[in-house]
């Protein structure tokens, strides 16, 4: 995607960039984006008072260089055919050469110092922006995370933060120095010979017209290409997330074909843009040549008529070369900035998104009496379908309750509302009479722990995964929790023990091992309210029995919600809430429900000692 070729006359694209900006809302927003990025380079802005003098010294040194050609040639011309002047001219040339070398060395030194200072300051601003952006992404609502593609999200983040660095780089290390150089050369050239200077610049209007027309089209095409590139990365990221499915069904070729299609779409668009750049580069080179030819021919004419020295001609040829060089750099920077602005625009959308709601100011210290759902109804943001309908019930402090119901009845959704991953569409959840939204998220969430249906672990060591949930947790506490979760023996039996890496999402561990680590993690978190969503589903009967004991200890004094399909595990719950299609249809103890609810009785009868009765399977098959 990088455009490496440099052309001359696309420099004028920047002029078209400016003119778009004053004529269309789209371009105006480009300017705003550009200024917004510059606004984030706080450290550089604060240091401009000493950076600019450094830059001016550098520019003065660079601009003075063509003058040395004039000095050399004019003095040479005077001494040609005059051997008596040879010694004097040689000494003069030696002096000029020494001054020239010193000036070049000084200009290199000055620019290196300027470059180093800019990069150092920019690093600080970039780091700040990267941290703000990553923090912002983590603060976005859960719905954003599950609705967007991971690969695409990573690419937006990656390119967005790089846009801050790259735009700063282009602005302070290319554009500003080159604009100063260009302007100084103009002034210097007009001072020496205005007519020659005008001839050097005579081809510029043609370049401006071409670039204003083509630059606008390229800009639109590049934005479309960027969107297609995002799709490539999104698709590739999705493919990698589901790599086990791809391998399992031997769909590597099929996946490659899908990726080939998206790459082709993006690549073709990019190639089209490259072709336009190439034609414009060629046009630019022709115009550059015409400019230089004009200078040379006019210069020869003036010399022949005694209106200019040979040194002046050398000076202008050198000057013309230097005038075109900044133009080339500016054109290249312009192209890059256009791309970075599109990248920044995408990350900016994320930065302007609403955080997950966190307007509460109260601090939750303890659950004193009860937790209650009050006339709660809920639809997921992406869907109008009502998932939970007017749910009301209360759980007393220290109670161990269970949510049961057929698959899709809304049990997990109820806990997602309790964790504040989502907010109710209407109604509320209250703790001791206070709406949970009135508590600060941090104080609230640190009183909760959950083991979800699809336990995942960080791609790190077992130790990291365990100590992650609490500050200053001791190794003794970790070991104790592992013992309670019946996983200590397994961990200590591993070659690297607690320092074993668990792989991507914990995939190097078995489902049961992963789940017991998640249980130990919940024990370490030491919560007031515990949510166990199918928490024992991946354990064998023996482990389950042992863990049930540990859970009983852990749940002692804590308010616990258990969701289980295997009803044997919740038989002794203080209260069982039965849900059907998003409604609470019955509640009570196991015995009460078995008598009062035909739905519950049917569910229990389907299972015998925690296993699905084979007779039932036959019945289902017959249906």
Ligand X SMILES: Nc1ncnc2c1ncn2[C@@H]1O[C@H](COP(=O)(O)OP(=O)(O)OP(=O)(O)O)[C@@H](O)[C@H]1O
The residues that touch ligand X, with contacts defined as CB under 6 A, are 146, 380, 382-383, 387, 405, 407-413, 453
> Nearest approach, Cβ of 415 to Mg ion (angstroms)?
8
Partner touching 474 among ligand X, Mg ion, none, CB below 5 to 8 Å by kind: none
Q: How far is the CB of 407 from ligand X (least distance, A)?
A: 3
Distance from C-alpha of 294 to C-alpha of 300, rounded to nearest angstrom: 10
Pair of tokens at residue 465: 């995964």
H-helix segments, 475-589:
475-484, 488-493, 511-525, 541-555
- Residue 574's CB is within 10 A of a number of other CB atoms, namely 13
The rounded distance, in Å, linking the Cα atoms of 355 and 351 is 9
The one of ligand X, Mg ion, none whose footprint includes residue 387, by CB under 5 to 8 A per kind, is: ligand X
Handedness of CA 467, 469, 474, 479 (dihedral sign): negative
Q: Point out which residues pair with 394 in neighbouring strands.
A: 372
Calpha distance 598→73 (Å, rounded): 108
> At 142, which helix (H) or strand (E)?
helix 142-147
Least Å distance between CB 411 and ligand X?
A: 4
Identify what 353 binds: ligand X, Mg ion, none; CB under 5 to 8 Å per kind: none
Residue placing its CB nearer to ligand X in the complex, 205 or 408: 408
User: Judged by CB, which is closer to Mg ion: 270, or 409?
Assistant: 409
Smaller CB distance to ligand X: residue 333 or 455?
455
Q: How far is the CB of 390 from ligand X (least distance, A)?
A: 16
C-beta separation of 560 from 400 below 8 A: yes
- Residue 455 interacting with Mg ion (CB under 5 A): no
Minimal distance, residue 142 CB to ligand X, in Å: 8
Distance CA 77, CA 71 (A): 10
Residue 412 is a binding residue for Mg ion (CB under 5 A): yes
Nearer Cβ to ligand X (133/412): 412
From the list Mg ion, ligand X, none, pick the one residue 408 interacts with, judged by a Cβ distance below 5 to 8 Å according to partner type.
Answer: ligand X
Q: Is 84 exposed, middle or buried (0-12, 13-18, 19+ CB in 10 A)?
A: exposed
Contact between 133 and Mg ion per CB under 5 A: no
Select the binding partner of residue 485 from Mg ion, ligand X, none (C-beta < 5 to 8 A, by kind). none
- Interacting partner of 380 out of Mg ion, ligand X, none (Cβ under 5 to 8 A depending on kind): ligand X
Distance CA 564, CA 178 (A): 69
Residue 383: name its binding partner from ligand X, Mg ion, none (Cβ under 5 to 8 Å by kind). Answer: ligand X
Of 148 and 453, CB closest to Mg ion: 453
- The least CB distance from residue 413 to Mg ion, in Å, is 8
Nearest residue to the partner Mg ion, using Cβ: 412
Closest alpha carbon to 588 in 607, 606, 601: 601
Q: 153 or 269: whose CB is closer to ligand X?
A: 153
Least gap, CB of 387 to ligand X (angstroms): 4
Shortest spacing between CB 562 and ligand X, in angstroms: 13
Partner that binds at residue 568, options Mg ion, ligand X, none, CB closer than 5 to 8 Å by kind: none
DSSP state of 295: H
Q: Residues 248, 296: contact at Cβ < 8 Å?
A: no
Least distance (Å) between residue 607 CB and ligand X: 14
| CB neighbour list of residue 364: distance below 8 Å, 6 or more residues apart | 431, 439, 440, 443, 444, 447
Q: Which does 410 bind (CB under 5 to 8 A by kind): ligand X, Mg ion, none?
A: ligand X
- Which residues touch 339 (CB under 8 Å, ≥6 apart)? 222, 226
Q: What is the DSSP string of 382-411?
A: T--SEEEEEEEEEEETT-EEEEEESTTSSH
CA distance 75 to 412: 90
171/163 Cα distance (integer angstroms): 12
Q: Between 405 and 512, name the residue whose CB sits nearer to ligand X.
A: 405
Binding status of residue 409 toward Mg ion by CB under 5 A = no
Choice between 418 and 466, CB closer to ligand X: 418
Given Mg ion, ligand X, none, residue 166, with its beta carbon under 5 to 8 Å by kind, binds none
Candidates 257-265, 367-375, 407-415, 537-545; binding stretch for Mg ion (CB under 5 A): 407-415
Nearer to Mg ion, 326 or 405 (CB): 405
Using CB under 5 A, which residues numbered 175 to 194 contact Mg ion? none
CA–CA distance from 485 to each of 458, 523, 558 (Å)? 19, 8, 17
Residue 29 or 453 having the CB closest to ligand X: 453
Least distance between ligand X and beta carbon 134 (Å): 23
Classify burial at 430, counting beta carbons within 10 Å of its beta carbon; exposed 0-12, middle 13-18, buried 19 or more: middle
Of the two residues 8 and 531, which places its CB atom closer to Mg ion in the complex?
531
Output the smallest distance, CB 577 to Mg ion, in A.
14
Residues that bind Mg ion (CB under 5 A): 412
């Amino acid at each position: 995607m990088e455009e490496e070729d440099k052309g001359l006359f696309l420099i004028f694209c920047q002029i078209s960039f400016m003119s778009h900006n004053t004529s269309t809302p789209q371009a105006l927003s480009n300017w705003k984006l550009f200024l917004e990025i510059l606004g984030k380079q706080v450290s550089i802005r604060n240091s401009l008072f000493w950076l600019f003098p450094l830059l001016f010294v550098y520019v003065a040194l660079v601009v003075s260089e063509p003058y040395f050609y004039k000095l050399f040639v004019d003095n040479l011309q005077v001494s040609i055919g005059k051997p008596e002047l040879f010694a004097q001219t040689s000494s003069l040339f030696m002096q000029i050469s020494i001054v020239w070398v010193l000036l070049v060395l000084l200009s290199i030194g000055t620019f290196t110092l300027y470059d180093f200072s800019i990069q150092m300051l920019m690093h600080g601003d970039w780091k700040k922006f990267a941290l703000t952006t990553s923090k912002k992404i983590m603060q976005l609502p859960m719905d954003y995370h599950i609705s967007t593609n991971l690969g695409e999200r990573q690419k937006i983040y990656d390119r967005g933060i790089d846009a801050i660095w790259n735009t700063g780089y282009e602005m302070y290390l290319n554009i500003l120095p080159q604009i100063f150089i260009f302007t100084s050369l103009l002034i210097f050239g007009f001072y020496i010979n205005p007519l020659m200077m005008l001839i050097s610049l005579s081809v510029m209007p043609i370049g401006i017209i071409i670039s204003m027309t083509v630059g606008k089209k390229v800009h639109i095409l590049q934005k479309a290409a960027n969107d297609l590139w995002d799709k490539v990365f999104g698709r590739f990221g999705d493919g990698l997330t589901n790599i086990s499915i791809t391998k399992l069904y031997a769909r590597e070729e099929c996946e490659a074909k899908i990726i080939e299609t998206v790459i082709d779409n993006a690549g073709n668009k990019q190639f089209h843009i490259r072709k336009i750049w190439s034609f414009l580069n060629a046009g630019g080179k022709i115009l550059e040549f015409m400019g230089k030819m004009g200078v040379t021919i006019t210069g020869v004419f003036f010399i022949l008529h005694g209106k200019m020295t040979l040194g002046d001609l050398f000076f202008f040829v050198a000057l013309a070369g230097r005038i075109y060089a900044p133009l080339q750099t500016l054109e290249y920077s312009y192209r890059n900035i256009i791309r970075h602005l599109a990248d920044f625009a995408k990350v900016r959308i994320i930065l302007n998104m609403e955080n997950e709601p966190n307007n509460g100011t109260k601090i939750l210290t303890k659950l004193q009496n009860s937790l209650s759902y009050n006339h709660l109804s809920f639809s997921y943001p992406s869907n109008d379908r009502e998932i939970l309908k007017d749910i009301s019930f209360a759980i007393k402090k220290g109670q161990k309750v269970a949510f049961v119901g057929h698959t899709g009845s809304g049990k997990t959704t109820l806990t997602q509302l309790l964790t504040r991953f989502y907010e109710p569409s209407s109604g509320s959840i209250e703790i001791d009479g206070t709406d949970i939204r009135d508590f600060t998220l941090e104080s609230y969430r640190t009183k909760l722990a959950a083991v979800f249906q699809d336990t995942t672990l960080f791609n790190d060591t077992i130790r990291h995964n365990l100590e992650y949930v609490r500050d200053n947790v001791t190794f003794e506490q970790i070991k104790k929790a592992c013992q309670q979760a019946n996983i200590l023996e397994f961990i200590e039996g591993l070659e690297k023990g607690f320092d074993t890496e668990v792989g991507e999402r914990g995939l190097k561990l078995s489902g049961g091992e992963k789940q017991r680590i998640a249980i130990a993690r919940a024990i370490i978190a030491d919560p007031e309210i515990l949510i166990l969503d199918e928490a024992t589903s991946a354990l064998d009967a023996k482990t389950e029995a042992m863990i049930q004991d540990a859970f009983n200890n852990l749940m002692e004094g804590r308010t616990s919600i258990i969701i289980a399909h295997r009803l044997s595990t919740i038989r002794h719950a203080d209260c069982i809430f039965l849900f059907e299609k998003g409604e609470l249809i019955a509640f009570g103890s196991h015995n009460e429900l078995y008598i009062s609810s035909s739905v519950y009785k049917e569910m229990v009868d389907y299972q015998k000692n925690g296993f699905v009765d084979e007779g039932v399977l036959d019945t289902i098959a017959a249906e």
